[in-house]
Amino acid sequence: DDRQLESLYADAHAVLVPSLAEGFGLPVVEALKRGVPVIASDDPALTEAGGSSAAYLPTDDPQRWEVELASRLSDPDRQAEAVLTASLFDRPTWADSASTLAEVLRKYFEW
């Protein structure tokens, strides 16, 4: 649930996303929004989501992941940049989206 997810992010030292295929990098955005360092695979969806605030590596090189993790954990200055990057993905709530859609439907279909 949401409380458990928040607790996990609060306790996390880093989030690793070694995904082979992604539609969108929501775990990357969620971690960055909370100032948690992210290391992700170099999948285009993940690089788009995290921008320059995350590290991207090939999934088949665990030694590079280990080195990058040590580097990220020792650099707290990257947290502010991470939160800023993630804020670019802030969106309205589902209720806001539904309200906007209803307005468009009323306008164009005279409901």
- The predicted model scores a pTM of 0.70
Range 2-14 average pLDDT: 91
- pLDDT per residue as tens digits for the range 62-93: 999 999 998 877 776 666 666 666 666 666 67
- Residues 6 or more apart whose Cβ sits within 8 Å of residue 37: 13, 14, 15, 31, 54, 72, 73, 75, 78, 79, 82
- Share the mean pLDDT of the chain: 85
DSSP-assigned letter for residue 54: S
